[in-house]
Amino acid sequence: MVAPVDVIAPKVSAAIAEALGDAYRDADPVLRPSQYADVQVNAALALAKKAGAKPRDLAQQIVSHLDLSQECSSVEVSGPGFLNLTFREEWLSSLVGDLAADPRLGVPVEERQNIPIDYSAPNVAKEMHVGHLRTTIVGDCLARTLEHLGHHVVRQNHVGDWGTPFGMLVEHLLDVGEDSPEAHVVETDPNAFYQAARVKFDSDPDFATRSRARVVKLQAGDPETLRLWNRLYDLSKSYFNKVYAKLGVTLTDADLAGESTYNDMLPGICADLEDKGIATMDDGALVVFLPGFTGRDDRPVPLFIRKSDGGYGYGTTDVATVKHRIEELHADRILYVIGVTQSLHLEMVYETARRAGYLPEDVEVVHVRIGSVLGDDRKILKTRSGAPLRLMYLLDEAVDHARKYVDEARPELPEDVRADLARQVGIGAVKYADLSVAHDSDYVFDLDRMLALTGNTGPYLQYAAARIRSIFRGIEAAPDPAASPIMLTERAERELAMRLLEFGRTVAQVGAIYEPHRLCTYLFELAQSFSSFYENCPVLKADSEEVRASRLALCALTLQVMVTGLDLLGMEAPEQM
Ligand code: ARG
């Protein structure tokens, strides 16, 4: 499956090499969209200086080596040295015809790799915050996309389920009773449980002593303590799963691989790092110092491997994740979809794992850095009182907001249809807001903007899909895009066709550089191209039967690409809006 640039770019490159010599074989042909033609080639302008030629002369020379007679109806040197290429209609039509006949819509099947993706990672008996929301949404999109490209994705939900707070949490669970309403609050408002334990810990010395003793029992594997810990885990799982279900993300219990799963590996890793001289004792603690990793005052920053009380650090567990993902999951690439602020931590983890020989050179480890979600005050989104925002509340609010729009726009729809539509639009809007900005930049959580029907928003894209569906409601059945030849006589038709042909490369790019916002931009531009096509080219009232069938096929193909793209983003495409 090819897009026009896949054919044109190598031919232009070859012509450049013939005109200027082999040294220019890898020069970028600089293909750009054009107002005057289907594509503009700017290589002559880019290379003239280096080649010591006048751009216009160079452009002529390139053209003299370029045979695009199959693909182009005109190749023109214009202005200071641009090449304007206009594609032959038959050629473009045949490419679109191939696309329509391709069940993968041009998305390549890549050589299968094992790709563990670490994402979501909320903490047991604690609220999930907006940061967790974002890693969950971005991670899920990358998981879907890489899977669609043919890879074996292993979702790894690295939940925080171990460490000192669990002494206090288990003791609190005992105090309130395992089946009490106070225990069940973990399933709906985990923070209330956590705070209650915390208050007691800070104010009641006896409780604090019990909590410390409980940590020791937990680490020693005391069965009764583990049973209570498991109970807490189950209650938390129920909360996570409610959030995941509401969000419609692909995480299940089978993907849980929390900190505790690495416990058995930790003593061995400590001994190994010490043996290899990578970790050293410092003030009773086992630490790794790495050259180049220094803090504000230029002092080396240690990665804590084992604290002086014998407890293991967050870093040790993460070194274990690398080892496990290489040795047991046979990873070819590993993604960590984690907050920007943990960059230094992860760099140190990778470097430690590399030195220890756990991480081979040819395995790519990537930190997909997640930026912050901000409130109106441009600070991390919190409640007015400063408490962490309940994620459920936030999602419900998005759906409630969407419901208001739906009720206004479609009062005639039955109640259950409106409720479902509000859910699809509200959740879609939140997800799209997260995905459509670069994942490492911050953005302000603004429901009104996210839900707007115009501009680069989730609802705008969902509306574009619903609008195509509404065209098909006027005819007997949704057309099969491959059933009729697609003719591209109007400019808007050509533009739409060229856009559609870029889908495969866009998805591959998201899988290669982990930037979902590129797919968002693509779909947004596709929706815009469709809009201008629909304004300029009558479909059901087209002049002839052939043109009508061709345009319906173009509509159907656009719908398929839109729905597939939205699905990769994790968004639903409502039947009507
Ligand atoms: N549980 C951590 C938190 O809430 C995030 C863990 C991220 N994953 C990891 N492998 N370190 O901040």
- Three state DSSP letters for 39-98: EEECHHHHHHHHHCCCHHHHHHHHHHCCCCCCCEEEEEEECCCEEEEEECHHHHHHHHHH
Distance 445 CA to ligand 1 centre (A): 22
CATH class assigned to 114-160+259-373: alpha beta
Does 140 contact ligand 1 (Cβ within 6 A)?
no
The CATH number of 88-107+452-577 is 1.10.730.10
Residue 386 has pLDDT above 90, yes or no: no
Of the options 1.10.10.10, 3.40.47.10, 3.40.50.300, 3.30.1360.70, the CATH number for the domain spanning 4-87: 3.30.1360.70
What is the pLDDT averaged over residues 95-113?
Answer: 97
In the chain, % of residues over pLDDT 90? 88
* Residue matched to tokens 């550089």: 513
Q: Which of 117, 126, 135, 158 to mutate to test the pocket of ligand 1 (most atoms within 8 A of CB)?
A: 158
Strands 82-87 and 39-41: antiparallel
Mean pLDDT of 425-440: 97
Work out the burial of residue 16: count CB atoms within 10 Å of its CB; fewer than 13 is exposed, 13-18 middle, 19 or more buried: buried
Cα of 159 to ligand 1 centre, how many Å? 7
- How confident is the model at residue 310, as a pLDDT? 86
Top pLDDT among 390 and 14 is at: 14
Q: What are the tens digits of pLDDT across the range 448-502?
A: 999 999 999 999 999 999 999 999 998 888 899 999 999 999 999 999 999 999 9
Q: What is the pLDDT of residue 1?
A: 60
Average pLDDT over residues 36-54: 91
184-191: average pLDDT: 94
Return the residue whose CA atom lies nearest to atom 5 of ligand 1.
121
Which of 32-36, 58-62, 423-427 is the least confident region? 32-36
Domain boundaries, the chain: 4-87, 88-107+452-577, 114-160+259-373, 165-237, 377-447
The pLDDT value given to residue 474: 81
Give the model confidence (pLDDT) of 315-349 as tens digits. Answer: 999 999 999 999 999 999 999 999 999 999 999 99
Q: Average pLDDT of the chain? A: 95
Residue nearest to atom 4 of ligand 1 (CA): 122
Phi, psi for residue 271 in degrees, rounded to 5: -60, -45
- The arithmetic mean of pLDDT across residues 298-306, rounded, is 92
How buried is 132 (Cβ within 10 angstroms: 0-12 exposed, 13-18 middle, 19+ buried)? buried
The answer, yes or no, to whether any atom of ligand 1 lies below 6 A from the CB of 321, is yes
- Residue 121 Cβ inside 6 Å of ligand 1? The answer reads yes
The β-bridge partners of 303 are: 288
> 156-168: per-residue pLDDT in tens?
999 999 998 999 9
Quote the Cα angle for 471-473-474, to 5°.
75
Q: What is the pLDDT of residue 311?
A: 86
pLDDT at 545 > cutoff 80: yes
SS3 state of residue 504? helix
Residues near 82 by Cβ (< 8 Å), separated by ≥ 6? 34, 40, 41, 42, 44, 45, 59
Whether the predicted pLDDT of 555 surpasses 70: yes
The structure's pTM equals 0.95
